[in-house]
């Protein structure tokens, strides 16, 4: 299993890609006519009847042909902002994965170091763990010494607690 940082970097890549695509497609208006469009139409051998448009900015020159199925309205700034929103979603997913791995790796050690102080005092946390039950199997593993007790407790804490909606 990859470490927390490696997992974060891997799951963050889609966010970076979406930001890059946004940067490429960012424009102040596409060109459908003019000298640049005419020259590119000739270069790719597109007939006059074929709809095409050009996206041009300081880092990208792109010709979008009719066969791409992308209409001019799809690259308006307000539509492209959805790429930024999706990049944020990808970044949050990466952070969630990162934090879950850190929790998996370090919860037993935190419980060991904090001892009874690890028990939550916050009302919300107490309510969240109200139905926590380690079960007979977990209790036997704790007292038998079959497993390291802090790891047993941490594993059981990381199992989702069933809610009324489950």
- Please list, residue by residue across 75-102, b when 16 or more beta carbons sit within 10 angstroms of its beta carbon and e when fewer do: beeeebeebeebbeebbeebeebbeebe
Domain locations along the chain: 120-166
Query: pLDDT per residue over 3-42, tens digit each?
Result: 889 999 999 999 999 999 999 999 988 999 999 999 999 9
pLDDT at 161 over 60: no
Report, in this order, helix, strand and coil percent for the chain, each rounded to 5: 65, 10, 30
pLDDT of residue 118: 77
The answer, yes or no, to whether residue 43 has pLDDT greater than 90, is yes
What is the CB neighbour count within 10 angstroms for residue 72?
Answer: 15
Higher-confidence position of 158 and 50: 50
| pLDDT score, position 16 | 97
* Per-residue pLDDT reduced to its tens digit, 66-100: 999 999 999 999 999 999 999 999 999 999 999 98
Q: Dihedral sign, CA of 16, 30, 27, 86?
A: negative
Asked if pLDDT for residue 146 goes beyond 90, the answer is: no
Burial level of 15, CB count in 10 A (0-12/13-18/19+)?
A: buried
- Report the C-alpha gap between 62 and 138 in whole angstroms: 60
What CA–CA distances, in Å, run from 128 to 50, 115, 125, 131, 153? 61, 19, 5, 7, 16
């Amino acid at each position: 299993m990859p470490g927390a940082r490696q997992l974060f970097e891997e799951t963050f890549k889609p966010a970076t890609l979406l930001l890059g695509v946004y940067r490429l497609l960012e424009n102040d208006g596409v060109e459908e006519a003019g000298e640049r469009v005419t020259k590119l139409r000739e270069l790719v051998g597109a007939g006059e009847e074929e709809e095409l448009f050009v996206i041009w900015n300081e880092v990208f020159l792109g010709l979008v042909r009719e066969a791409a199925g992308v209409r001019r309205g799809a690259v308006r700034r307000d539509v492209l902002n959805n790429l930024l929103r999706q990049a944020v979603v990808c970044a949050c997913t990466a952070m969630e994965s990162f934090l879950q791995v850190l929790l998996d790796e370090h919860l037993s050690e935190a419980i060991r170091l904090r001892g009874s102080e690890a028990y939550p005092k916050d009302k919300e946390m107490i309510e969240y763990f109200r139905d926590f039950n380690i079960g007979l199997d977990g209790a036997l593993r704790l007292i038998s010494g079959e497993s390291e007790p802090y790891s047993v407790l941490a594993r059981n804490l990381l199992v989702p607690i069933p809610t009324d909606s489950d």
